[in-house]
Structure 1
Amino acid sequence: MPMNHLDSRDKWVDVLRGLVALLVVVHHTALMYGAIGSWFWHEKSPDNSFSSLLLTAFCTFNQAWFMGLFFLLAGAYVPTALARKGANLYLMDRLVRLGLPLLVFGCLLGPFTIALAFTSKGFAIQDTLMALWRQSHFESGPLWFVAALWVMTCMVTPFVPWLQRVRPFPSMAMMWVAALLVGASAFLIRLVWPVGQTWWIGWQLGYFPGYVLLFIAGVAGAKSRWWFDVPAPAASTWRRVMRWSVWLLPLVFISGSLIPWLAGPAVGGWNVQAFVYAFWEPLVAWGVLLRLLRWAQQRFISPSGAYKAMGQSAMTVYLIHAPIVVGLGLALQGLDWPVLLKFVVSAGLSVLICLICAQLLLRSAFWRRWF
């Protein structure tokens, strides 16, 4: 997400990151209205209603690929920046550029979002804020991502000279092997850390096999520019794999309610649903990522207007969206509307307000320099 120097040919990367950052806003709005997942405040808890199942399916699909895209693109710019600055300066620069947003959210925006959420229980914002600050509460929230990116950057930097050799685009067989490795690793990790269980700074380790592999793949493909010129056959083939695979998970979930041996918590454990979910994610992710990359490369060669603004706002939107999403949810709480209608209105307004606030903040030279 935090952006390295972009080649003039690669402005589409900004737009793609901006669009996916807005999807993160919509994703977190869905969590407020009944999708399964942790968030600061929920108007509706997950249940078996149609709206809750639909929003859960939406978030499950997103989770399979959207954070992985950020790691892939971040890795793709590591070798260039490392060669330009040298290891020590580059790592210090990453520490500042990734650490500052984390500190701003952890110490200010995160506690403020929690305080907003607690107003639904009758607590005053200032009282909750003061209590959190007295306890030195640090809330990473969605900024877990930048902490993970910093750790991965430190770990991969010594190996960049070897990783960035010129190589042909990964073969179909190699990508199948990668998908199977990610699925097997995720299944095993989720035996100890099920999906939804966090570790250290909000990391859900059950998702990390895919994140780590995609970050390394970004680095490995940088010199050969794999991800900046995705071959049409690869994108087409994996799109077909994704289309066939995407129905497998809901089919197994539905079957689990009818066939006892197919039942079990999909979040982790020795059961069929957890096994299918772990392997389903990379099959969906590879298809979505390759198709999106190719689409963006063709569609946003010279972005302007709203798309350019989205690209410029990606990191800022990601940083500031939590209190906006929660605040709007609380403001709309009293409206007796259908859940899905309220979700659409809340998500649309959140996206719009995030973009406006981001553009206002980006007028500041300080903000543009550090965010």
Structure 2
Amino acid sequence: MENQNASLSRQYDIDWIRVLATMGVFLYHCSMFFNPFPWHVKNNQLDSSSILVFSLFVGAWIMPIFFAISGINVSYALKKRQTSNYLKERLIRLGVPLVFGVFILTPPQIFMERMANNQFSGTFLEFLPHYFDGIYLDFGGTGNFAFFGLHLWYLLVLLVFSFITLPLFKIVPNGRTFGIMHLYILPLILIITGLIKTQGLGGWDLVFYLVILVFGYYFFSSSAFKPILKSTIKLHFILAAITSALYIVWFMMAFPQPGSVQALIFYAVRTLNCWSLLLCIFFLADKYLSFSNGFLKYASEASMPFYVLHQPIIVILGYFIRELSWPIPVKLIFLIPVSFTLIMICYHFIIRRVQLLRFLFGMKGHENKSITFSKNKGVTIHGNPANKN
């Protein structure tokens, strides 16, 4: 019983990674307003130096770390919950904010994109009937209906992965023994996934994310992972530094032609970069962030609504400042703190205080309160501390 309880004890370092990664996504999307990559709304001047370097570095690992954490969370969820409860929670915590985002938060972003690209003229209310004209497939396209919620594609993909991986996880549960060789075999599997092309999202293919989630379930959640990682961490830091420099410089100087041998080598370098950075992040979090405090509790609860809300705020703000004559550093200094402040005001004073909004943004109900309905007694509010994963 002690071993089981130990295996189910909360890992605060994982909570810290999730919170910091959410902030990383926020900063990454702020950089998308300025870098040369296609995006919903672009500044009138673009930066191909420091901001691009930041985007390349963060983009290499930011979404994979979310899927790795998701795999770890699945391993704990399936140990604590029955299958039906697990699937129900997935549908509510992922599906509800996804649907809310598709129909409420996404239309303003598509409207801003169409206006910025001179693809529509008129008011937002005049645009709304056109939101269902065609399927939105890429930046600057002609379709408007983004069924995946734009940046909320992560919720849709994770929801689908939760269902398709369940049979595997039930048949082959985690808890297997891992050795040092797995740290070298697993990235080779990721490199091989580069030969499979399905749909690219957030810089990587869906198959890549699926493999990362499976690794999270079986390997990153294993009790043997952290001791093995600690014994080999110097190599991972060296590899992370070398591959980061090689990947970024190669990208900026001579991006290889798709399908060429150079492109395959480039993908292998980028994959090793992602893998080594993930390992470094897990090591640093375990060493320095294995604790809890009031800030972590607050930020952990805020991470989902912050993620759901952050891009619409950035896009709307970016739209209104895109043609101003301000220098890029001034716009950057304006966009980041103002966007962050607006998001946190919406969360702290509105979303977290309104039960319906908590539900729509994927949050659990207020702590110490739950509502039950009875024909005889009507509505009853009673204590029910939130059960945090």
Same fold (TM > 0.5): yes
User: Does structure 1 retain, via aligned residues, the 8 Å contact 2:35–2:55?
Assistant: no
Q: 1:219 aligns with which of 217, 220, 226?
A: 217
2: CA distance, partners of 1:289 / 1:17:
13
Alignment of 1:1-371 (within 5 A): 9-36=10-37, 38-44=38-44, 51-120=47-116, 121=118, 122-133=121-132, 137-139=145-147, 140-161=149-170, 163-171=172-180, 173-186=181-194, 188-189=195-196, 199=199, 203=201, 206-221=204-219, 224-225=222-223, 231-253=229-251, 256=254, 264-265=256-257, 268-272=258-262, 274-360=263-349, 361-369=351-359, 370-371=362-363
Q: Counterparts of 1:223 and 1:185 in 2: how far apart (Å)?
A: 22
Report % sequence identity.
Answer: 22
Change in 2 beyond 3 A, CA 1:248/1:138: closer
Distance 1:221-1:328 versus aligned 2 partners, 3 A rule:
same
Structure 2: distance between partners of 1:100 and 1:293? 30
Q: Report if the CA contact (8 A) 2:8-2:76 is conserved.
A: no
State the Cα distance separating 1:205 from its structure 2 match. 8.6
Normalised by the size of structure 2, how large is the TM-score?
0.77
Amino acid of the structure 2 residue aligned with 1:269: G
CA distance in 2, matches of 1:44, 1:174: 47
Higher helix share: 1
Tell me how far 1:222 sits from its aligned partner: 6.4
Higher-Rg member (1/2)? 2
User: How much is the aligned-residue C-alpha RMSD, in angstroms?
Assistant: 2.9
Q: Separation in 2 of the partners of 1:325 and 1:13?
A: 26
CA contact (8 A) 1:119 1:125 kept: no
**Distance change in 2, residues 1:232/1:55 (3 Å):** same
Please say which of residues 161-170 and 56-65 is displaced more in the overlay. Answer: 161-170
CA distance in 1, matches of 2:339, 2:8: 31
Residues 204/20 of structure 1: CA separation in 2 closer, same or farther (3 Å cut): closer
- Unaligned 5+ segments in structure 2 are 1-6, 135-143, 364-389
Distance of 1:284 and 1:114 partners within structure 2: 33
Give, in whole Å, the separation in 1 of the partners of 2:13 and 2:346: 22
State the AA in 1 paired with 2:19. G
d(CA) in 1 for partners of 2:8, 2:43: 44
1:302 counterpart SS class: coil
CA distance in 1, matches of 2:98, 2:306: 14
Equivalent AA in structure 2 for residue 300 of structure 1: L
Could you tell me whether the CA contact under 8 Å between 1:34 and 1:52 is conserved in 2?
yes
The TM-score, its normalising length taken from structure 1, stands at 0.80
8 A contact 1:34–1:44 mirrored in 2: no
> Structure 2 CA distance, aligned partners of 1:279 and 1:127?
47
Number of residue equivalences: 341
Counterpart-to-counterpart distance in 1, 2:50 and 2:107: 30
